[in-house]
Structure 1
Amino acid sequence: MRSFSLLVLCSFSPLLFAADVPGSQDLPIVPRMVDAQIVDYRPAAELERIYPLGSIRKISGQLRFDGQVSARGNVTSVTYELPSEHSSIEAFTAAREALQQQDAGLLFWCQARDCGESSLWANQVFGNAKLYGADDQQAYLLLRLAAPRDNTLVALYSITRGNRKAYLHVEQFEASTPLGELLPTSATLLRELKSTGELDFATLNSAPDETWLRLISRGLNLDTTLRVSISGANAEAWRQALIGQGVRAARLETGSAEGSGLHIELLR
């Protein structure tokens, strides 16, 4: 089961929030880190929003990334300055775990230089200069909430600036129209597997699906040193299908984890 960083997240006395930006408030879905202060708050506003699904770069004056989610809806954002005893990646991890405890699904996750230039994330994506820092001290994650709130996205961005101040930016986007099918990147599946030790696909409870089969096999083949177990009602069918997609048989075992859907667990 995924762990939840309760030690660094919680609500405390009102005195804790005395330095917050006037009129600001936390987003209910992401608990605040102990002693963190809100330094930027933007209440719900209807906007056309683009969330990258890949490393960002600027070519001939234009932002470039491999994929994106683009929609119109209400956006609310909170930026926290973190206490000196906690790092930006610690806050990022705690927020991610809190959202995954609510069954939010990961769409894109990058860290450090894999994300591209911090200046582009800060100024072009989030429009918040406070978020500009060292490229190797950043992390970005886009998640989709579970049904019935599956038209809501949450973006997390953490950064440590050159002056050693650390920030966590949380943005909630509620789409005006259904978002439809959104798929994670293969690299994101691999990062989630290596970070949490497991992947759960509750809706994959029948024969192997070609789209998901390609995503999972590509993710596993991004690191050919990993071995995993596969559980679920159709575990052996998925195992054979992954072998057919080029994943070496020696890396795949049939597991015994209970539950619906497909479950992949990292073998240590």
Structure 2
Amino acid sequence: MNFVRFISGAFLLLMAGVLSAAELPVQNYHNARVIFESNAETDEYVLALGSYKKIAGSWRVDRQQRLSGTLARYTLELPEGHSASNGFDFYLDQLQNFNFRELFHCKSRDCGTSNSWANNHFKLQMLYGLDQFQQYGAYEVTTADEKPFYVALYAVQRGNKRVYVQLDVLHVDKIIELGIASSPESIIKSLETNGYYVFPDLVAEDAQGSTNIQIKQAHLQALIDALTQKVDWRLALVGHDYAPVPLAQQQKDSLLYAAQLKAALQEKGIVAARITTYGIGSLAPAGRGDRSARVEVVKVND
């Protein structure tokens, strides 16, 4: 396999079998056979953000986003005895090493029919397998490049026990102005599993030099939908700031970021008593990644 240009040559020499996934380094599954691969520009990639459901007599995803950019596609057959979950988790674990956000995830029959994913969505008949042994996820990966990567990952077991994994990695050629929101279910899962959710699209300074956060309505509404499902949850909004200024100023600015998000939630009907705000400046560098600032939504346990 060709090595990618995204990370340094010295590090690449340590990594055998790296898929050249639109310059995002992805380690290949050990002993997997690459059935199909391509790398090309596209102006019409459909990123599925929901399950396949029967709508007006035909199977369709209930939520999707059309994107353009450089698309790398890989179809792999796993070694005998390896499950669809093994393959899916292998690639998902690698994505979690980056600044990573789950947009949507489904498993088994909750995804709809495997036939729809194979023939309607990916248009690869070999991906048609057993509905109960399938898994799909859509993810956003951000790097130092301002344009993110979007990853679609699908794994399935066929009736003959063969297991296939489909990996699509798209490096977009333009910023999605409205943002691509995580599903409310993905936000809830992050809060339940990790205890926190990083609110996307943080901007530390506007054109006038004022500190604020850019709150895209798609992300705000997804968080509101999650909170509407979990009416008994209380949250802490924790602001972080890594600007080269004294800690006191970082803490002041980061508290402002958290307060701005709280105000936006209140305007949409979320009760203020459910939310507390904190500003800790640069005191929690873990998880910073390439961000200069961020707000974390933290689930508060009573």
TM tier, shorter chain?
0.7 to 0.9
Bigger mean CA offset, 172-181 vs 185-194: 172-181
Q: Deviations over 1:237-257 (max 9, x none)?
A: 64576567346946x565667
Could you tell me how far apart the structure 2 residues matched to 1:25 and 1:223 are? Answer: 40
| Counterpart amino acid of residue 230 in structure 1 | L
Matched with 1:92 is: 88
CA, structure 1 residues 70+202, in 2 after alignment: closer, same or farther (shift >3 Å)? Answer: closer
Q: Deviations over 1:45-98 (max 9, x none)?
A: 546222222222344564433332113444321122223554323432332232
| Counterpart amino acid of residue 100 in structure 1 | Q
The structure that is strand-richer by fraction is 2
CA, structure 1 residues 266+72, in 2 after alignment: closer, same or farther (shift >3 Å)? Answer: same
Matched with 1:265 is: 298
Question: How many percent of aligned residue pairs carry the same amino acid?
Answer: 25
Bigger mean CA offset, 124-133 vs 77-86: 77-86
Unaligned runs of 5+ in 2: 1-13, 205-211, 240-253, 286-292
Unaligned runs of 5+ in 1: 1-9, 18-23
CA, structure 1 residues 83+229, in 2 after alignment: closer, same or farther (shift >3 Å)? Answer: farther
Q: 1:26 Cα deviation (Å)? A: 4.9
Matched with 1:114 is: 110
CA, structure 1 residues 47+210, in 2 after alignment: closer, same or farther (shift >3 Å)? Answer: closer
Could you tell me how far apart the structure 2 residues matched to 1:25 and 1:224 are? Answer: 43
Q: Which has the larger radius of gyration?
A: 2
Matched with 1:218 is: 225
| Counterpart amino acid of residue 223 in structure 2 | I
TM-score, length basis structure 2? 0.66
TM-score, length basis structure 1? 0.72
Alpha-carbon RMSD: 3.6
Matched with 1:68 is: 64
Does structure 2 retain, via aligned residues, the 8 Å contact 1:47–1:75? Answer: no
Matched with 1:7 is: none
- 156, 159, 165: which one pairs with 1:159? 156
Q: How does 1:88-237 map to 2 (within 5 A)?
A: 88-146=84-142, 148=145, 150=147, 152-184=149-181, 185-201=183-199, 203-204=201-202, 206=212, 209=215, 211=217, 212-224=219-231, 228-232=235-239, 233-234=254-255, 235=258
Does structure 2 retain, via aligned residues, the 8 Å contact 1:50–1:70? Answer: yes
